[in-house]
């Protein structure tokens, strides 16, 4: 098995030292010999909702490779307002700065949808990177494409209205979580969208009336994905294409 390409590695054939199954696509995309270098340092962890994996200006202590669930990258202002600038699921990893040699990060990384995954000490990663050129390539690529995702988000935050952004956000979340029901409150969505809760509730109620989504206390369901895609801004497909480019080579 060459192991260079995700398609060559069936998802059920790789585990960490604890025997936990690996679903994270970055770890699955590693060639066997380089994955062996990482194996011992990968610790399986639970990723409970709302847990912060990294706080702004702190040094990057761990990198995380999600198996399930979803992580938000959030910028926090002095006055406590927040807005999401990027997301990471099983197709990526948290702590992207390290592969680029940047040891701290200015964003908060918070679990948006609970799940599980693996983590590794930052300095362990940096040690392994010395002798794992393919890993370096994969992580750098991810860092670069993640930057482009953030760039698109920067434009989206400026140019598109709540409903377009909320639609895009729900689609992106759905893509990264296999559950049919997304366990999120309006209030939490508001902190991601950088607005207040009543604005989210208003947009959500319109979208519910129009048959795009359905929701109850603390959970949102996508009922008509096609309509939702039409409601979302182009940023959704732009970011999708970036993901595609990352995942398949």
Residue 166, CA distances (Å) to 51, 139, 212, 246 in order:
22, 29, 11, 24
209 binds, among a copy of itself, DNA, none (CB under 5 to 8 A by kind): none
78 binds, among a copy of itself, DNA, none (CB under 5 to 8 A by kind): a copy of itself
195 binds DNA (CB under 7 A): yes
CB 173 within 8 A of CB 183: no
As a whole number of Å, the end-to-end CA separation of the chain is: 16
Window 40-69: residues binding a copy of itself (CB under 8 A): none
Q: Which of 90, 119, 142, 186 lies at the binding interface for DNA (CB under 7 A)?
A: 186
Q: Are strands 43-47 and 115-121 parallel, antiparallel or unpaired?
A: antiparallel
For the chain, what's the residue count? 249
In the bound complex, what is the minimum distance in angstroms from residue 114's beta carbon to a copy of itself? 24
Q: Which residues contact 167 (CB under 8 A, 6 or more apart)?
A: 207, 212, 228, 229, 231, 232, 233, 236
Rounded to the nearest 5 degrees, what angle is found at the Cα of 162, between the Cα atoms of 161 and 167? Answer: 105
150 binds a copy of itself (CB under 8 A): yes
The residue whose two tokens read 């140019």 is 159
215 binds, among a copy of itself, DNA, none (CB under 5 to 8 A by kind): DNA
Nearer to a copy of itself, 9 or 242 (CB): 242
Q: Which of 105, 163, 167, 191 lies at the binding interface for a copy of itself (CB under 8 A)?
A: 105
CB 114 within 8 A of CB 178: no
Q: Per the structure block, which two tokens stand in for 19?
A: 């025997």
In the bound complex, what is the minimum distance in angstroms from residue 30's beta carbon to DNA? 38
194 binds a copy of itself (CB under 8 A): yes
216 binds DNA (CB under 7 A): yes
Which one of the spans 4-12, 95-103, 125-133, 223-231 is the region binding a copy of itself (CB under 8 A)? 95-103
21 binds a copy of itself (CB under 8 A): no
C-alpha 111/C-alpha 64 separation (Å) is 11
Q: Which of 144, 181, 201, 219 lies at the binding interface for a copy of itself (CB under 8 A)?
A: 144
Nearer to DNA, 23 or 166 (CB): 166
Burial, 59: exposed, middle or buried (Cβ in 10 Å; 0-12, 13-18, 19+)? exposed
122 binds a copy of itself (CB under 8 A): no
C-alpha 134/C-alpha 137 separation (Å) is 5
Q: Which of 122, 144, 194, 247 lies at the binding interface for DNA (CB under 7 A)?
A: 194
169 binds DNA (CB under 7 A): no
List contacts with DNA (CB under 7 A): 161-163, 185-187, 194-199, 201-205, 208, 215-219
């Amino acid at each position: 098995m060459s192991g260079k390409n995700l398609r060559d590695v069936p998802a059920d054939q790789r585990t960490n030292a604890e025997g936990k199954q690996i679903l994270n696509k970055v770890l699955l995309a590693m060639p066997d010999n380089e994955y062996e270098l990482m194996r011992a340092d990968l610790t399986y962890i639970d990723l409970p909702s709302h847990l912060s994996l990294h706080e702004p200006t702190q040094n990057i202590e761990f990198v995380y490779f999600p198996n399930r669930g979803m992580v938000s990258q959030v910028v926090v202002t002095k006055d406590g307002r927040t807005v999401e600038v990027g997301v990471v699921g099983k197709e990526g990893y948290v702590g992207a700065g390290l592969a680029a040699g940047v040891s701290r990060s200015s964003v908060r990384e918070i679990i948006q949808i609970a799940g599980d995954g693996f983590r590794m000490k930052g300095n362990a990663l940096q040690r392994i990177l010395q002798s794992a050129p393919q890993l370096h390539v994969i992580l750098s690529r991810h860092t670069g494409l993640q930057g482009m995702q953030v760039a698109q988000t920067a434009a989206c935050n400026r140019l598109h209205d709540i409903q377009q952004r909320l639609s895009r956000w729900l689609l992106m979340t759905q893509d990264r979580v296999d559950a049919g029901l997304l366990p999120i409150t309006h209030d939490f969505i508001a902190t991601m969208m950088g607005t207040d809760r009543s604005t989210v509730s208003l947009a959500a109620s319109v979208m519910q009336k129009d048959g795009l989504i359905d929701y109850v206390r603390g959970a949102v369901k996508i009922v008509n994905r096609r309509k939702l895609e039409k409601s979302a801004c182009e940023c959704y497909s732009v970011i999708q294409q970036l993901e595609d480019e990352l995942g398949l080579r």
